[in-house]
Amino acid sequence: MTALVPAVAGALIVAGAIGLVLGLKPSQAPPPRSRPTRLKPLSQRSKRLLMVGVVGGVLAWLVTGWALALLAVPVAVVGVPVLLSNSGAEARIGRLEAMEEWTRSLSGVLTVGIGLEQALVATQRSTPAAIRPEVGRLIARLRSRWDTEDAVRAFADELDDATGDLVAANLILAARRRGAGLAQVLESLAESVSADVRARRQIEADRAKPRATARWVTIISVGVLVVLAISGTYVEPYRSPLGQVILVTLLTAYVATLVWMKRMAIGKPLARFLSAPDAAGGTS
């Protein structure tokens, strides 16, 4: 019973550290047309990892006698892959590539001399999958007799990206002025986005190297700890209440190092400059 007290205290320390990390994560300002946020359910992968972690925690508790393992192992199994992941960088780069491809396709359609709205509708079939839902809703709004500028602004809000704002701003100007030259502007914009994609891929390749190193160090450390816990007396002092507290401190320090590394590798997205009209009817 006495061993449960430091174990519970250690678990609270770990939970507090995780809460502190989540609380310190930078948050973006909500868009003008904010939608109600809902808690996302756990993915199937996360559920499977959680089940594996629970089973592993029970086994670790039975083998080592560490009550702390009942909480630490599930948290580690679910949390460590997140800390060593690329934070969705590939998905963001994929969306940029999709914007480039769609912009280039729209530029090609406009060269045949049709109107802006007809050109947008004509790109629906060739739209890349990464932004197909957003483009589909844009076309649906145009077909529902929305004003073109309002439909494009809603499209930019759904993309929620500075590059998407740049594309939408050019479309809004074209909708207002109805002049020639939009195809050339969009082609130049697509070239600029392509250069941005190449630069981001190079940066992400450089960031992947320390993540791979941290991943292997974590795997080796966990493997050594498991072997020592099963076959040796090296971990015997950690069975005591004081040992449990020391173990929690060491694990918290290691997790803090991973969090620090992940925060350094996360790039800050560019601020958006295009927003939807506010309730008073103004635009920006």
Per residue in 64-84, pLDDT (tens digit) is: 667 777 777 777 777 777 777
Retrieve residue 248's tokens: 């929690």
Mean predicted confidence (pLDDT) in 126-145: 90
Does the CA dihedral 272-169-112-122 come out positive or negative?
A: positive
pLDDT at 279: 35
pLDDT at 138: 92
Count how many Cα atoms sit within 13 Å of the Cα of residue 170 in the half-sphere of its side chain.
19
Q: Which residue has the tokens 């310190």?
A: 24
Mean predicted confidence (pLDDT) in 220-237: 75
pLDDT at 225: 76
Confidence of residue 136 (pLDDT cuts 50, 70, 90): very high
Is 0.75 topped by the overall pTM? Answer: no
Q: What single-letter DSSP state applies at residue 124?
A: T
Which range among 111-125, 179-193, 210-224 has the greatest average pLDDT?
Answer: 111-125
Helix pair 182-231, 241-265: axis angle to 10 deg: 160
Which range among 29-38, 60-69, 237-246 has the greatest average pLDDT?
Answer: 237-246
Q: Which residue has the tokens 């948050």?
A: 27
Answer yes or no: are the C-beta atoms of 57 and 182 closer than 8 Å.
Answer: no
Let me know if 123 is exposed, middle or buried by CB neighbors in 10 A (0-12, 13-18, 19+).
buried
Answer yes or no: are the C-beta atoms of 75 and 197 closer than 8 Å.
Answer: no
Of 60-64, 95-99, 197-201, the poorest mean pLDDT is in 60-64
Confidence of residue 86 (pLDDT cuts 50, 70, 90): low
| Distant-in-sequence, close-in-space partners of 191: CB < 8 Å, separation ≥ 6 | none
